Chain A
Amino acid sequence: MWCSRDTSSAGFSLWHLVVPQRQLLTAQQPQAEACATKTCATGLAFVLLFFGLPARATTYYVAAAGSDSNNGTSISTPWQTIAKVNGATFSPGDSILFNRGDTWYGTALTVPSAGSSILLVAAIIAVTTWAYSARTLRAQTLSLRNRDFVEAARVSGEGPLRIILVEIMPNLIPIIAASFLFTTLYAIYAYVAIAFLGLAGSPTSNPPGLWNWGDMLREGFANNAIRGGWWWWWAPPGFCVALLGTGLALLNFGIDEYVNPRLRVSGLSRRVAEKAGISTRAILGMTPVVSSVRLSDREPSSLPHSQPLPTAVAARPGSTSPQVGRDGPEPVLEIHGLSVDYGYGDQAVHAVVDCDLVLRRGRVLGLAGESGSGKTTLALAAIRLLRSPALITAGSVLFHSKPISGGPSGTVDLLAADEDELRAVRWSEISVVLQSSMNALNPVITVGAQFDDLLRVHRPRLSGSGRRERSAELLDMVGINADRLRSYPHELSGGMRQRAMIAMALALEPQVMILDEPTTALDVVTQREILEELIALRDRLGFAALFITHDLSLLVELADEIAVMYAGRLMERAPAASLFKSPRLPYTHGLIHCFPPMHGKRTRMVGIPGSPPDLRDLPTGCAFHPRCAWAMEQCKHDVPRLESLDGSAREVACWLHRGDARVPAELALPDPGVIEVGVQ
């Protein structure tokens, strides 16, 4: 096959280091680039300092020390040695790379002229190290050649040579650079070690070799320098070797940071955060909360939003008994004014802005929106599962716990909770199933053992057979035969693995399940089966579910209430049937008309023009106005708030429904769901 020939050689490596990767450099943000440049520059400075400059000096140093030792009178103080080196006619220009080939590092870069032994050493090092780089490069190439862009190039008629050179090679640069630097470092270490053993030819051999750090060490060793405590024999070469290694490693990091921008995020953002005066004590698995928010949320009455919703009032920690109010059963998870940023200060991206959501016991709340609308961020921020640089900047999340299996009930403020409180709530009371959950099963352990682990940790009183029974029962609940406990994850289909994850999420009888696109990666039939099972389980076990998906048509059949998000804000919230039959928001209206119908005559549909906005560069006013057919002047300037519509259960953030604006007929259809609210 044409790609397996693509193994590396030193020539390749060099060529790629030399070719300026302008497109990779210009692509990055300026500050981040400066950061990578600094790392690169530091590394390069180290390398040059210990690579080129002192080569000649080393020769003088050792020559001076060596001649004395040959005379039998070893130098007693380092100062004498240094004085000799300084006194020698030393010019830096003499000893730059490639100069007269008189230094050992020529092994890695060029052919040295002095002594056949160096050539031999170079050959030995090359023979012993090529396989490593070749293997890494080959593996990477094999995965790249299966990528769609290679296939696309083939489809467009591109020849194999150009595919290798133009399509695949540029993607290999980070690996080529890394293995080049690693090989260099390895070669240096190897050469020093060989020289230390006296196998690399020395200044005293015939033909005379050159002094190098390995020789210095050997000379020192031979002269009892270590026992005599004459550190100036062995410390400088050791120091040089160590610093050169550091320099090469830094250079490598720098190149990595250029090529892969994600590596730079954490260091950069921490600095910006400090500048913005935010302390971000990073605790693994806990999204940091801006400290001012934490304090204010200790008192639920001082929630930082201007208009407390009626639902929020009903949901005070004091209300204990399960009462079905005007809006349905009592709330189990309340999110108020939640705002989440990615990054800090001026660079912050406001991924979620001032969102209110109330999840009621035993209900399914659908959260719909396109990618980048902040729906996952909102849900994961509520249980503080987002990783740095995510930062919760405002809001409160109240979890009204009333364990299904009995136990003390109470209210936990998740944003103010410490690690232990969060751990007590997560998974056992609020569990999460993600789209990629099916890949979260450990591939080398059987499914049964993974259930067993979970139950052993959280249900310590359960016996071994009790755990097995419970595991079998859980799998049975999601429609998997209990025999499958003995299977490894790879033996199950994607649908079955996702089911197993749902069973695991149900294992501790949680009160809330957060389902983030749990079926998006699955086939329609499997998706439908899993959804049916989920609803049946919800009816049986009584958990509440926050169901996140981009597929509004699916949500309509599934959810009791639907909230629609756009560009980080909640835009409309209504009972499912009402939202679908009589949307009030232009965006919802557009979304609904993005799904071609299954019946009737085929007509051309237009969908929503434009594309979802970039969160870093949001339009002013209502974020949807550039795509909205009914946008007014006001929409371009003022951000609409999510407000109740005519006192009904539905809320919408749209200027069309405020003041004396004329509501388009499409957005004023009669609401079919009004009567059904709260009855179920």
Chain B
Amino acid sequence: MSTVTPVLEARDLTKYFWVKHGRGPLARRVPVHAVEKVSVRLDAGKVTAVVGESGAGKTTVARLLAGIIKPDQGEVLLDGRRAPKGRPRSYAKQVQMVFQDPFASLNPVHRIRHHLVRPLEIHHLVTGNVDTAVADLLHRVALKPAVNFTSKFPYELSGGQRQRVAIARALAVSPRVLIADEPVSMLDVSIRLGVLNLLAELRDEERLAILYITHDIASARYLADTIVVMYAGQLVEAAPSVSLTDHPAHPYTQLLLSAAPDPDRSEPPKLAGRGAPPSLLALPTGCRFHPRCPYAMDICKRQVPPSIAVSSGHIAACWLHVDPANRQASENGLPATTSARPAANHAEAAGGSLGRD
């Protein structure tokens, strides 16, 4: 357990969305279990990646942390204190977010200057010349010379440039936390690394705490210090990034890794499991992954697996890592030796951070 207070911490976040099920007067509202008991911590100068398939709840976690939506249960702690109700500007000043689609996240009718000036104005950060401040921001995201960009409209820029503007907008208020929701998935392959390297520089030079959400586990390995794997709204594994990708402990992580393109593979990949994630309306009992899991046991169908420390800082929520005696005990109704701590608390960044080693 780290003694340093994380900049932003999520504790047991749970969020349900309610949808109508059925038609007409018989319709009833049923919960979509978007996120359940998710705990993540973001430390200054570290990148935490959240990896998972679509529908795993990654974006919901991002929106909860950014304060766009409020959790049903659990709490978000900023510097160890509960985040205030609503979304006051003091919170916006600390926590900023970059969206997935740079084509949608910039208002098409406003010039780049507007997008960068507004955050400065809202938070009364303009002390000297506004244009200098805007130029500084554009320089920080490597859009030079700034004069070429300030009076342009978003559609006049390429995808990579737009995403850089979006990052610059987030940086305008000098936040301490940056939440990046799939910031490179819409970008061309050749410019993705540029944006990832920019995030790495912000982490190293400005000590930003970054939450990097992605479905691309290779890029998470490249950028992040810690990787957290989500499946059907829950955390299934959390570990330092190299440890997680080299020694995945949870069968779902193994499946993800076996499916990811890897040209260095010597033989054709063998998928470790098949099928699709469950509907969030009707979740399987026990472990949510058991219908797809090649190692599923009886207990997996009946009981939710505890979070187990596989090695130092490496947590997996899987019955495979509970020793048989304990498994038997919990079958008989006794509490399993669960680690009471939320998984991410254990996952201290052990991996060397990129660009510094």
Complex interface bits, B92-133 against A, C-beta within 8 A gives 1, otherwise 0: 110011011100111111110000001100110000000000
Q: Closest chain B residue to A526 by CB distance?
A: B276
Contact B259 A525 (CB under 8 A): yes
Contact A590 B190 (CB under 8 A): yes
Is B354 in the interface zone, CB < 8 Å from A?
yes
Among A24, A525, A591, A606, contact of B255 (Cβ-Cβ < 8 Å): A525
Q: Which residues of chain A have C-beta atoms less than 8 A from B89's C-beta? A: 157
Cα separation A553 to B189 with both chains bound (whole Å): 11
How close is A123's CB to chain B, nearest CB, in angstroms? 34
Complex interface bits, A403-420 against B, C-beta within 8 A gives 1, otherwise 0: 000000000000000000
Q: Which of the four size classes fits the interface of chain B?
A: 35 or more
Among A24, A552, A592, contact of B109 (Cβ-Cβ < 8 Å): A24
Is B192 in the interface zone, CB < 8 Å from A?
yes
> Which A residues from 507 to 566 make CB contacts under 8 A with B?
523-529, 532, 550-554, 556-557
Among B108, B170, B192, B354, contact of A607 (Cβ-Cβ < 8 Å): B192
Contact A591 B264 (CB under 8 A): no
Known: A156-B173, A495-B276. A148 touches B99 (CB 8 A): yes
Total A-B contacts with CB atoms under 8 angstroms apart: 184
Known: A157-B119, A523-B54. A598 touches B257 (CB 8 A): yes
Stretch at the interface among B37-45, B216-224, B306-314: B216-224
> Which B residues from 196 to 252 make CB contacts under 8 A with A?
197, 200, 215-219, 221-222, 242, 245-246
Stretch at the interface among B5-13, B21-29, B153-161: B153-161
Among B68, B105, B258, B354, contact of A604 (Cβ-Cβ < 8 Å): B354
Contact B193 A607 (CB under 8 A): yes
Counting chain A CB atoms within 10 Å of each CB, the highest count among B153, B166, B261 belongs to B261
Q: Which residues of chain B have C-beta atoms less than 8 A from A602's C-beta? A: 221-222, 242, 351-352, 354
Cα separation A166 to B117 with both chains bound (whole Å): 13
Known: A157-B123, A158-B118, A607-B194. A552 touches B189 (CB 8 A): yes
Cα separation A532 to B153 with both chains bound (whole Å): 43
How close is A658's CB to chain B, nearest CB, in angstroms? 24
Counting chain A CB atoms within 10 Å of each CB, the highest count among B193, B217, B351 belongs to B193
Contact A149 B261 (CB under 8 A): no
Q: Which residues of chain B have C-beta atoms less than 8 A from A591's C-beta? A: 189-190
* Secondary structure call for the A interface: helix
How close is B110's CB to chain A, nearest CB, in angstroms? 8
Contact A612 B188 (CB under 8 A): yes
Contact B189 A170 (CB under 8 A): no
Stretch at the interface among B265-273, B323-331, B334-342: B265-273
Known: A554-B261, A596-B219, A604-B354. A152 touches B99 (CB 8 A): yes
Counting chain B CB atoms within 10 Å of each CB, the highest count among A153, A523, A526, A532 belongs to A523
Q: Which residues of chain B have C-beta atoms less than 8 A from A605's C-beta? A: 193, 197, 222
Cα separation A171 to B159 with both chains bound (whole Å): 21
Counting chain A CB atoms within 10 Å of each CB, the highest count among B97, B218, B255, B259 belongs to B259
Cα separation A609 to B160 with both chains bound (whole Å): 11
Contact A607 B190 (CB under 8 A): yes
Contact A597 B264 (CB under 8 A): yes
Q: Which residues of chain A have C-beta atoms less than 8 A from B200's C-beta? A: 604
Q: Closest chain A residue to B111 by CB distance?
A: A23
Cα separation A151 to B242 with both chains bound (whole Å): 34
Among B101, B161, B265, contact of A611 (Cβ-Cβ < 8 Å): B161
Known: A605-B193, A612-B158. A156 touches B92 (CB 8 A): yes
Among B166, B191, B260, contact of A524 (Cβ-Cβ < 8 Å): B260
Contact B263 A595 (CB under 8 A): yes
Known: A156-B92, A557-B265. A595 touches B218 (CB 8 A): yes
Contact A598 B256 (CB under 8 A): no
Cα separation A591 to B355 with both chains bound (whole Å): 21
Is B33 in the interface zone, CB < 8 Å from A?
no
Cα separation A550 to B258 with both chains bound (whole Å): 20
Q: Closest chain B residue to A525 by CB distance?
A: B259
Known: A152-B166, A557-B268, A597-B264. A608 touches B122 (CB 8 A): no
Is B53 in the interface zone, CB < 8 Å from A?
yes
Contact B68 A154 (CB under 8 A): yes
Q: Which residues of chain B have C-beta atoms less than 8 A from A157's C-beta? A: 87, 89, 92-93, 119, 122-123, 173
Cα separation A529 to B262 with both chains bound (whole Å): 15
Known: A155-B66, A157-B123, A602-B352. A553 touches B261 (CB 8 A): yes
Known: A525-B259, A550-B188, A595-B263. A167 touches B107 (CB 8 A): yes
> Which A residues from 600 to 634 make CB contacts under 8 A with B?
602, 604-609, 611-612
Contacts beyond the supplied A155-B170, A611-B190: 11 A-B pairs with Cβ under 8 Å? A154-B87, A155-B66, A157-B89, A158-B118, A370-B188, A525-B256, A528-B259, A528-B269, A551-B261, A596-B218, A596-B221
| Subset of 14 A-B contacts with CB under 8 Å | A148-B100, A152-B166, A152-B169, A156-B92, A156-B96, A171-B108, A371-B159, A524-B256, A528-B259, A551-B261, A592-B263, A598-B245, A599-B246, A607-B191
What are the 6 closest A-B residue pairs judged by CB atoms, nearest first? A607-B193, A596-B222, A157-B92, A148-B105, A528-B259, A608-B190
B residues sitting closer than 8 Å to A (CB atoms) are 53-54, 66-68, 87, 89, 92-93, 96-97, 99-101, 104-111, 118-119, 122-123, 153, 155, 158-161, 166, 169-170, 172-173, 188-194, 197, 200, 215-219, 221-222, 242, 245-246, 255-265, 268-269, 271, 273-274, 276, 351-352, 354-355
